[in-house]
Amino acid sequence: MVNTKIMLNGIEIDNPVIPASGTFAFGYEFAPMYDLDILGSMSLKGTTAQARFGNPTPRIAETPSGMLNSVGLQNPGVDAVIREELPKLEKVFHKKAVANISGFSVEEYVECAEKFDACDAIGWLEINISCPNVHGGGMSFGTDPCEAAKVTAAVKKAVKKPVWIKLTPNVTDIAQVAKACEEEGADAVSMINTILGMRIDPKTRKPILANTMGGLSGPAVFPVALRMVWQVFEKISIPIVGMGGVASARDVIEMMLAGATAVQVGAANLVDPWACEKIIRDLPRVMEELKIENLSDIIGGAH
Amino acid sequence: MKNETYVISSNEKLARDIWRMQLVGDTSEFGNPGQFVNIALAGNYLRRPISVCDYDANSFTIIYKVVGEGTEKMSRMERGMRIDALTGLGNGFDTELCPKECTVVGGGVGVPPMYALTRKLVKEGHTVRVILGFNSAEDVFYEDQFRDLGCEVTVTTVDGSYGEKGFVTDAMEEGTYALACGPKPMLQAVFAKSSDGQFSMEERMGCGFGACMGCTCQTNDGPRRVCKDGPVFEKGAVAW
């Protein structure tokens, strides 16, 4: 009998598989499809202090082995999420979820984090300093180690729950940003957010996305994400929540061998709503095949 | 929503760039006319959302326009090949909201979902006037099929090469209850001329089942996902 359990900031989870923010709405949408309690946890749709419509459409484009999105943090605002979305989720998911928080100022991150910190349904706070689709916030905090450190320090000071900082790959040295977050007390880093990209429609000779650029996700980014998890694992000692193009149990194991303690599954949920269920069902079989008894033993095992 | 595999029983060209595919398999999730399926194609990452033209207990029909790489690939698929699809997506038209007399308006590739809708409306005892709009004679399809449902059918073409010359709204009576699917300018024109109605919106989708927020549109009730809260919206909710 293999053991898929993982310790994540002092909380034991049944397996390392977590649907990624922005691909799983507020979770309950997936309840008709399978029992959500089989998941390790789930990361909820990115939330800001105020309601946001997001960017103009079209905000989805296809790419080879992946997709671009420029959704731009559409959400009903933190108060509505806590008042309306979390109660719906709690009816169908009985584990701790991950609140994903975005902001346009340090104060906004702190405000949202404080509010989610008071919610029983939430186990971890994932601070998104890496959204490529909003201006004057989001990614601008994630591309500068000093700004990343400021957000981390301010949020850590304000909350009790474990804080993850979600990092952008759109930097020269992601390990430097990860290190800055660790030094300010981050409990984990989650990585990678999407890679900035674009497509042009040759017929109209214009960008397909109304916002011109968007974030690339899907299997196309897996090797990039894996490489970055590897690099960051070499430089920090807090856990890494790895993500980027993960679509199978083997991808989960590869991500963990590179250094991830837990693994998020993103775009795969959008093309196969049962993706996470299939990965979790496959995981014990693949572990047996690869002679892995305890999944937690392989974290960083490739180094 | 269900994920099912279907066997293609036919795939044929109906008009310029317009193809009809018939598929056999589980249709238990199919509900209101105006819903869509999301088709997986080998070699393409995202699925293709295509509206359902008609369905029965164990088969359904889609009519699609070859507009890009994915639909071009579909046009080359042959009888006996298998297709993976997510089914039962979207809300579809609500015929219970329709008055005794109503007008069904389809424009171009917006025509197909109006077929099952018209069939349902007729069966429920409504008097249905159908207006189908196309650019040119070589784009026209399904006129006879609609007529066989027992409706008064008007075809318009923009260049006048078939039917009445002009737009669908030239053939539409002012102040009627309209059910419409087609290009946005057509929907806006029908919207302006109708007393009330239901409008099927189109938007580029990611997932097709409400998870990614890719296809959101602004409505008078706030932001709504075209794939999950729509694609059909009542006139009072539509904000252009």
Q: What is the pLDDT of residues A229-271, one digit of tens each?
A: 999 999 999 999 999 999 999 999 999 999 999 999 999 999 9
| Mutation for testing the A interface, residue in B45, B202, B205, B215 having most A CBs under 10 Å | B45
Contact criterion met (CB below 8 Å) for B140 and B158:
no
The residue ranges of every structural domain in chain B are 2-89, 95-200
> Which CATH number does the domain housing residue A80 bear?
3.20.20.70
Residues in chain B closer than 8 A to A67 (CB atoms) = 45-46, 206
Segment A170-193 mean pLDDT: 97
pLDDT at A137: 58
Give the pLDDT confidence score for residue A7 in this predicted structure.
97
Looking at the domain assignment, is residue A261 inside a domain? yes
Q: How many domains does chain A have?
A: 1
Residue-level pLDDT, tens digit, chain B, 240 residues:
999 999 999 999 999 999 999 999 999 999 999 999 999 999 999 999 999 999 999 999 999 999 988 999 999 999 999 999 999 999 999 999 999 999 999 999 999 999 999 999 999 999 999 999 999 999 999 999 999 999 999 999 999 999 999 999 999 999 999 999 999 999 999 999 999 999 999 999 999 999 999 999 999 999 999 999 999 999 999 998
Residues 6+ apart with CB under 8 A from B128: B101, B102, B103, B104, B118, B121, B122, B149, B151, B152
Residue A212, in any domain of the structure: no
A211 inside domain = no
Contact B213 A22 (CB under 8 A): yes
Average pLDDT, chain A: 96
Q: Which of B1, B44, B207 sits opposite A62 (nearest CB)?
A: B44
- Residue A213 has φ and ψ, to the nearest 5°, of -110, 160
For the segment A100-123, the average pLDDT, to the nearest whole number, is 96
* Fold annotation for B95-200: Rossmann fold (3.40.50)
In a domain, A243, yes or no: yes
CATH 2.40.30.10 assigned to B2-89: yes
Residue A117 lies inside a defined structural domain of this protein? yes
Catalytic residue, from A112, A119, A131, A146: name it: A131
In a domain, A60, yes or no: no
Q: Do residue B207 and residue A272 have CB atoms under 8 angstroms apart?
A: no
**A131 is known as an active-site residue:** yes
| pLDDT for A131 | 77
> Is the model's pLDDT at A135 over the cut of 70?
no
What pLDDT, on the 0 to 100 scale, is given for residue A138?
62
| Distances in whole angstroms, Cα of residue B212 to Cα of each of A29, A33, A64, A100, A270 | 11, 16, 19, 15, 7
Residues in A touching B204 (Cβ below 8 Å)? 57-61, 208
- Please check whether residue B60 is in contact with residue B85, taking contact to mean a CB–CB distance below 8 angstroms: no
**pLDDT in the model for residue A141:** 87
> E strands, A27-77, where?
60-63, 66-69
Residue A58, Cα to own-chain centre: how many angstroms?
23
pLDDT of residue A132: 72
Which structural domain range is residue A165 located in? 6-54+73-195+219-298
Nearest CA in chain B to A208: B204
Is the residue at A160 inside a domain? yes
A58-75 confidence digits (pLDDT tens) = 999 999 999 999 999 999
Instruction: Work out the average pLDDT over A104-108.
Output: 93
Res A208 pLDDT > 70:
yes
Looking at the partner chain, which of B86, B204, B218 has a beta carbon nearest the beta carbon of A60? B204
Q: What is the per-residue pLDDT for B53? A: 98
Please determine, for residue A130, whether its predicted confidence score (pLDDT) is greater than 90: no
pLDDT at A231: 98
Residue A205 lies in a domain: no
